[in-house]
């Protein structure tokens, strides 16, 4: 079996303390209207991009030059930590010196996730968080976690589990009125594969491992879990379970709830786990189900038993270009009904397609000639409209025979919907682009451009209604709030299901001239979220609820359902030691 090429850089590196990603990677100007990405980690790294800035200016209708740069300032002058001497004395007896910190940088970096507008924008522009953690602990083992939880319960300390810090739901934000000592429990030292059962194709893995490290370690043994979220380089197994995550290749391998057979949760009342791991069981209501989407409210997830699969024999990429978004959606729905599903297939709208083109280098020589021929075929022969055309990227995995059969079905069917193939290289580039494009957010933030993502799941017959509704409400909201210029709104179908799809939105606009840009952004995003709910979409597909979507919960859950969740928490955490107050648990105390 040939070694499969990875679509993200396997190297580790120093991470930005607050912003997204690695410190060796950033967007920077290399000319008045040209930028480049430093380093060599991603397909967009190391070359000049002359089209991106003109594209952004044309879309947002605001100037975008180095003169508009906002100074990047992070203030580490934090309030003194809330006293918790009893806890600190006790935990320092149980843990070594490097496992406990109250350093300002550690405290601040563990007090937020990657919610760009409310957390990152505020930090990068010199603002302060309402409340920060008072200390950070780093368990090395499950026994360390038990000691931390026991000490927290005995000393009445608030504990907030921390994984990769990639959430965009405000889940790591400290409740501003929490008077107890708040301690972040950073799980990333618990990053080992404990065992692999090759006969039953299972692996037991500690919850603090990052997705990238897990796949590298499993790959060395010839296995994969197939879980492949956009944040795979940094997010952790425990975070995936606690947010009920979804990956790009869920068609083949399933979402996290399909991949994880059992997980262990340490609570103030003891460990919660099923004693035996079996393919399926019927043993009444299962506590295991409470872990998925728990968002740090019940306890600390320490390990999970997961399905693993032999590395696929073959992996092939593909790309399709459709005349418009409607034909692309019709194709996805028809393909779903054939039963032939690639590991991943995504459909981006026209603006996101054009954004991808703007991230390319200038074409010269043979590449320029090739580009002219392609443009002639698209626009003169096929009569495609540059302002309407959309693209789909495809990843096919499995045996060579499976992949060959998928290619035949997919590309023959696509022709019936007016699509043409854009080639395997464009398919791979489009898939890999996900990992590098995240750095754009922090770049545009320094120009007063606010941007964030939000997602939903939608029935097939509501897709266009939801997308159109969001666009219409966005125009109304921008006019009402006096936003300068125009918005950048893209959406893509990232996963398909028997009954519908996941739609992933990206929204950005200029905050210049606004008294409180972050507040305006979130008011607008909340209005768009209401439209999504009103038109039949879900509150979230995989980001979770955290704190920013709590106000919508009563629209999607009955009072009895919410009360059932809260009563369960009272049973295992009566003193609200796990007091992050995410999701349904926005009360000060549950007792």
Pairing of strands 158-162, 182-186: parallel
CA distance 172 to 165: 8
Among residues 42, 253, 504, 521, the one annotated as catalytic is 504
Pairing of strands 270-272, 223-224: unpaired
Q: What are phi and psi of 98, to 5 degrees?
A: -80, 5
Token output for 318: 């593909």
Distances (CA, A) of 44 to 168, 335, 528: 24, 31, 31
| Beta-bridge partner residues of 451 | 508
| DSSP code for 119 | I
Helices 463-481/517-534 angle, 10° precision: 150
**Total residue length of the chain:** 591
CA distance 306 to 241: 11
Torsion angle of alpha carbons 480, 484, 486, 492, nearest 10°? Answer: -80
Helices 400-415/325-338 angle, 10° precision: 140
Pairing of strands 34-37, 27-31: antiparallel
The answer to whether residues 477 and 527 touch, using CB atoms and an 8 Å cutoff, is yes
What distance lies between CA 564 and its chain's CA centroid? 28
Report the candidate in 270, 215, 264 with the shortest Cα–Cα distance to residue 238.
264
What's the sign of the alpha-carbon dihedral 408, 409, 415, 416? Answer: positive
Q: What is the 3-state secondary structure (H, E, C) of 239-266?
A: HHHHHCCCCCCHHHHCCHHHHEEEEEEE
Torsion angle of alpha carbons 239, 220, 197, 241, nearest 10°? Answer: 10
- 504 assigned to active site: yes
CA distance 178 to 159: 11
DSSP 3-state of 465: helix
Report the candidate in 298, 367, 329 with the shortest Cα–Cα distance to residue 458.
329
| Beta-bridge partner residues of 455 | 504
| Beta-bridge partner residues of 158 | 182
Report the candidate in 48, 5, 3, 7 with the shortest Cα–Cα distance to residue 430.
7
Query: Residues with catalytic annotation?
Result: 504
């Amino acid at each position: 079996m040939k070694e499969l090429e990875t679509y993200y850089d396997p190297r580790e590196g120093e991470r930005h303390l607050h912003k997204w990603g690695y410190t060796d990677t950033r967007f920077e100007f290399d000319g008045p209207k040209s930028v480049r990405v430093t380093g060599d980690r991603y397909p967009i790294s190391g070359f000049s991009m002359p089209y991106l800035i003109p594209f952004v200016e044309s879309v947002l209708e605001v100037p975008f030059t180095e003169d508009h740069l906002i100074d990047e300032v992070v203030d580490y002058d934090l309030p003194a930590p809330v006293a918790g001497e009893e806890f600190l004395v006790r935990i320092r007896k149980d843990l070594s010196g490097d496992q406990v910190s109250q350093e300002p940088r550690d405290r601040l970096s563990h007090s937020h996730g990657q919610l760009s507008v409310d957390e990152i924008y505020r930090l990068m522009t010199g603002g302060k968080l309402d409340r920060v953690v008072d200390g950070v602990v780093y368990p090395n083992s499950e026994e360390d976690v038990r000691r931390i939880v026991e000490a927290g319960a005995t000393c009445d300390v608030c504990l907030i589990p921390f994984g990769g810090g990639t959430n965009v739901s405000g889940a790591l934000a400290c409740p501003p009125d929490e008077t107890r000592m708040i301690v972040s429990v950073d799980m990333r030292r618990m990053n080992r594969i404990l065992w692999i059962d090759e006969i039953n194709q299972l692996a037991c893995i500690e919850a603090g491992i990052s997705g990238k490290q897990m796949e590298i370690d499993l790959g060395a043994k010839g296995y994969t879990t197939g879980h492949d979220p956009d944040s795979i380089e940094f997010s952790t197994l425990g975070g995936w379970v606690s947010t009920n995550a979804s990956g790009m290749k869920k068609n083949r391998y399933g979402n996290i709830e399909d991949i994880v057979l059992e997980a262990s949760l340490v609570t103030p009342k003891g460990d919660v786990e099923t004693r035996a791991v079996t393919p399926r069981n019927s043993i009444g209501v299962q506590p295991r189900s409470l872990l998925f989407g728990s968002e740090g409210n019940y306890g600390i997830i320490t390990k999970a038993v997961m399905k693993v699969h032999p590395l696929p024999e073959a992996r092939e990429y593909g790309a399709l270009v459709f005349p418009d978004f409607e034909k692309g959606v019709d194709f996805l729905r028809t393909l779903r009904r054939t039963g032939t599903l690639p590991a991943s297939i995504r459909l981006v709208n026209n603006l996101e397609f054009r954004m991808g083109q703007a991230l390319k280098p200038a074409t010269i020589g043979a590449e320029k000639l090739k580009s002219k021929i392609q443009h002639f075929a698209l626009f003169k022969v096929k009569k495609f409209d540059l302002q309407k055309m959309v693209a789909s990227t495809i990843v096919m995995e499995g045996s060579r025979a499976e992949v060959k059969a998928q290619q035949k079905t997919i590309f023959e069917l696509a022709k019936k919907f007016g699509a043409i193939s854009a080639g395997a290289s464009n398919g791979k580039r489009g898939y890999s682009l996900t990992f590098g494009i995240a750095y754009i957010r922090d770049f545009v933030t320094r120009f007063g451009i606010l941007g964030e993502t939000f997602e939903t799941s939608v029935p097939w017959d509501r897709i266009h209604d939801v997308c159109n509704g969001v666009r219409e409400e966005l125009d109304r909201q921008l006019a009402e709030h006096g936003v300068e210029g125009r918005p950048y709104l893209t959406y893509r179908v990232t996963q398909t299901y028997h009954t519908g799809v996941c739609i992933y939105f990206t929204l950005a606009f200029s905050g210049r001239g606004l008294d409180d840009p972050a507040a305006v952004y979130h008011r607008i995003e909340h209005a768009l979220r209401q439209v999504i709910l009103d038109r039949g979409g879900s509150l979230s597909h995989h980001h979770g609820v955290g704190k920013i979507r709590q106000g919508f919960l009563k629209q999607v859950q009955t009072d009895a359902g919410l009360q059932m969740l809260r009563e369960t928490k009272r049973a295992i955490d009566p003193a609200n030691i796990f007091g992050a107050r995410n999701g349904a648990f926005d009360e000060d105390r549950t007792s």
